[in-house]
Amino acid sequence: MHDSKLEITTLGKFEVKRAGQLLSQDSSYRVWELFKYIITNRNTGIVPELAFENLWPDQEYSDPRGAVRALIFRLRKTLGQSPTKDQDYIVFSQGCYHWNKSVDYWLDVEEFENKAQQALFLKQNQPEQAEDLLLQAVDLYGGEYLPESYYCQWTIPVRNYLQSLYLQVVMELMELLAARGDNSKIITICEQALRTYPYEEDIHRYYLKALVNEGRIKQARNHYTYTTNKFYQDLGIKPSADLQRIVQAAGNRQLEGLDLNSIQNHLQEKADNQGAFVCDAEVFKEIYKLERRRGERLGLSVFMALVSIMDNTHRNDTSLVKKGMDQLETFLVNSLRKGDVITRWSSNQYVLMLPGLAYEQGEKVMERIKDGFNKDNRFLIITTEIQPVLPLEIYS
């Protein structure tokens, strides 16, 4: 890169440099907001009045064109002229300001797009060259577009387009790396991608498979548990069953060839000796099926209960509910028996399975839980429901 070339970074952070000197810390906030707007619209140019309205919609100026002209003057002074062509970086033509694309500059977004598009073109016939370009594109994507201007409406279409292109690049790269079994590189790239986009299931899927293929089963289990909790807490949903199947299949492979004593010892090691059993929703569903069948066959009572937590301050504080859910889980584990089962069902609900109780006992357990939790919480409150897994007459 030419030492005097203007270097513009927009992915993950905003910086404008020349010859190692950071220009974007000089001049006012408005000057650089206008610069971002011009760079974002570098292929079309900007109308001064429309630019002012988009950038500062809450402010009124009698002469927005004059205000933009003054900011452009300050911006040109800060940027100087292109040293290779002696031209301004910003030019005026037909009533619009334009980014001068003929000057010498480097823009990370353009570089990222070029690498990505070349790679997608070459992927079918020249996979090695495509892989190299995809890796370069991933490295260029330092994060979301202009994060300091995240809530500005004019940045949203570009940010969404670049996010979509980046995720396509990651998926195409994963496919090539998986085809030649480069699990180590898959793990590195997935970890990088998940820092920016933690809710992309396809990336989690490649990551878990690569961990399992590398024999890092414990890390895969821990990541699955973390991901499940994060999806519950942040989105109120659970990941697809595919992620769980990857981890389960890995665990099953580890147990192949063991004798009965070894299997029992393994199960004993995994046993939880403290209070009720906590599991994810998919495991809970399987336990539910087993308990229902056992209840039908032996006439044993099984009850399900729903415990919901709410913000009692009427402020709809989701962070308060998130913290309360962890507190509630600990409370439920310590309040229930070893044979009882707990799962987090949504962002503010736990479902319980209570085998071997009479209906009246189940109601008393729920009242005790509700009274005990609510007594010690000023800002949160829980409500409870209970009903039999089978009709009550089955148990009589």
Beta bridge partners of 341: 277, 353
Q: Compute the chain's Rg from CA coordinates.
A: 29
CATH number of the domain at 225, please.
Answer: 1.25.40.10
Give residue 346's pLDDT: 86
pTM for the predicted model, two decimal places: 0.68
Same domain, 120 and 243: yes
Return d(Cα 6, Cα 219) in angstroms, integer: 43
Q: Does any domain span residue 262? A: no
Give residue 192's pLDDT: 95
Q: Which of 7-11, 30-34, 91-95 has the lowest mean pLDDT?
A: 91-95
Give the model's confidence band at 1: pLDDT under 50 very low, under 70 low, under 90 confident, else very high.
Answer: very low
Same domain, 94 and 136: no
251 C-beta neighbours (distance < 10 Å), count: 14
Residue 59 in tokens? 């402010």
Give the model's confidence band at 396: pLDDT under 50 very low, under 70 low, under 90 confident, else very high.
Answer: low
Number of domains in the chain: 3
Find, among 204, 202, 208, 210, the residue nearest to 186 by Cα. Answer: 210
Same domain, 115 and 249: yes
Q: Does any domain span residue 67? A: yes
Same domain, 78 and 154: no
Tell me the mean pLDDT in the region 327-353. Answer: 89
Same domain, 231 and 112: yes
Same domain, 125 and 103: no
109 C-beta neighbours (distance < 10 Å), count: 20
CA atoms within 13 A on the CB side of 319: 0
Same domain, 199 and 296: no
Q: 3-state SS string over 25-90?
A: CCCCHHHHHHHHHHHHCCCCCECHHHHHHHHCCCCCCCCHHHHHHHHHHHHHHHHCEECCCCEECE
Residue 174 in tokens? 């994963």
Same domain, 341 and 296: yes
Phi, psi (5° rounding) for residue 110? -65, -40
Q: Does any domain span residue 260? A: no
Tell me the mean pLDDT in the region 180-193. Answer: 95
Give the model's confidence band at 231: pLDDT under 50 very low, under 70 low, under 90 confident, else very high.
Answer: confident
Return d(Cα 149, Cα 337) in angstroms, integer: 52
Return d(Cα 104, Cα 322) in angstroms, integer: 50
Parent domain of 340: 277-395
Return d(Cα 99, Cα 44) in angstroms, integer: 9
Give the model's confidence band at 254: pLDDT under 50 very low, under 70 low, under 90 confident, else very high.
Answer: low
Same domain, 246 and 232: yes
Find, among 329, 360, 359, the residue nearest to 342 by Cα. Answer: 329
Do residues 14 and 31 touch, judged by C-beta distance below 8 A? no
Q: Does any domain span residue 85? A: yes
| 65-90 confidence digits (pLDDT tens) | 999 999 999 999 998 877 666 688 99
Give residue 99's pLDDT: 95
In the predicted model, is pLDDT for residue 307 greater than 60?
yes
Q: Does any domain span residue 333? A: yes
Give residue 85's pLDDT: 61
CATH number of the domain at 287, please.
Answer: 3.30.70.270
Higher pLDDT, 220 or 84: 220
Return d(Cα 283, Cα 221) in angstroms, integer: 14
Q: How far is CA 8 from CA 16, 95, 315, in A?
A: 5, 25, 42
Residue partners of 280: CB distance under 8 A and separation at least 6: 225, 228, 238, 244, 343, 344
Give the model's confidence band at 255: pLDDT under 50 very low, under 70 low, under 90 confident, else very high.
Answer: very low
Single out the residue in 89, 107, 125 at which a domain terminates.
107
